[in-house]
Amino acid sequence: MSALGADVRAELPPTVVLDDASGRLFQGFAPKALGDMVLLDPLGAVVATGPDAASRLESTLAALRRDVRGRIDALQAAKDAGKVEAALTALLAIDLRPATEAASRYAAACPPALAPVVLATMLRAGRLDAVVDALGGADAKRRRVAIEVATAAPDPGLADALARAAARPKLPADEAYAALRALVRCAPTHPALESLAIELSKRAETPSRVRGLELLGQIATPGAKAHVLSVLRGDGGKVARSAAATALGAIGGADVPEILRKVAAEDRVPEVRAAAQKALDALGTK
């Protein structure tokens, strides 16, 4: 049961103020415990009794509907980012289905130029569903905006959607990296992070490999460390191996200084030796 969208305390008499499918919210009610028609506010206080209760409720709901309609109209009329943010914030402040559904529809269909402010405003209001929907959508530009919003305002509730976004088939490397970077911020121990970062580090193009190794250095799981070591000790090219040395230094561990010291002294490639020495220096090891 709910009264104007708010939960009624369990110890109160039964009430039949209903949020039904039509959105009318009114059925009429007469709790036997009080004997007369009674209108309770969301906190359980009696605000009207007898015949006045029904008319009071109808009047209140009519005013709420007018308010919601006015805020929806204001949002639809807004053109610049500042006005859109203010209008959307005002609409989201009303916790009634017509308001929240209108906000969701607007977020899904807003002009691309307004998507950053719209998704950020939805996220601040706790409406993660709008960002999740954008992350899973077919519109690449909107997905990227959602990734940027998640990076700027990380929320653990976005983690699974970011993991799915990063795992999309044939995803451009830069988008995969951006999604994984946002995932690291939202949920640094997410179970999909390690495998997705390793997959990125195995791509053919060198920049993707470097970005994957950078992420593995941040994740710092045993599996991440094992893969970084395999790249460092392999023949994947000087850029990737240098990135692996840097990532290994970021991961750290009791055995890492000795490994890096050996690479810095003996590796055949000057760039890799330099990267290993720099990682050693960052660890404070000589």
| 18-45 per-position pLDDT tens digit | 344 444 443 344 444 444 566 666 666 6
Cα 265 versus chain centre, distance: 45
Distance CA 210, CA 214 (A): 6
Query: Which of 126, 82, 131, 75 minimizes the C-alpha distance to 108?
Result: 131
Q: What angle do CA 248, 252, 256 make, to 5 degrees?
A: 75
The answer to whether residues 193 and 184 touch, using CB atoms and an 8 Å cutoff, is yes
| 192-218 per-position pLDDT tens digit | 999 999 999 999 999 999 999 999 999
Distance CA 88, CA 125 (A): 10
Distance CA 231, CA 214 (A): 12
Residue tagged 């970062």 (tokens) = 197
Three-class SS of 136-181: CCCCHHHHHHHHHHHHHCCCHHHHHHHHHHHCCCCCCHHHHHHHHH
Question: Could you tell me which residues are beta bridge partners of residue 3?
Answer: 6
- pTM summary value: 0.78
Distance CA 195, CA 20 (A): 46
Reported as a pLDDT band with limits 50, 70 and 90, residue 55 is confident
Distance CA 162, CA 286 (A): 40
pLDDT at 9 over 60: no
Q: What angle do CA 87, 160, 88 make, to 5 degrees?
A: 0
| 217-262 per-position pLDDT tens digit | 999 999 999 999 999 999 889 999 999 999 999 999 999 999 999 9
Q: Which run of H or E residues covers position 2? A: strand 2-3
Domains and CATH numbers, the chain: 1-68 (no CATH), 191-286 (1.25.10.10)
Q: What is the pLDDT of residue 46?
A: 66
Distance CA 187, CA 208 (A): 21
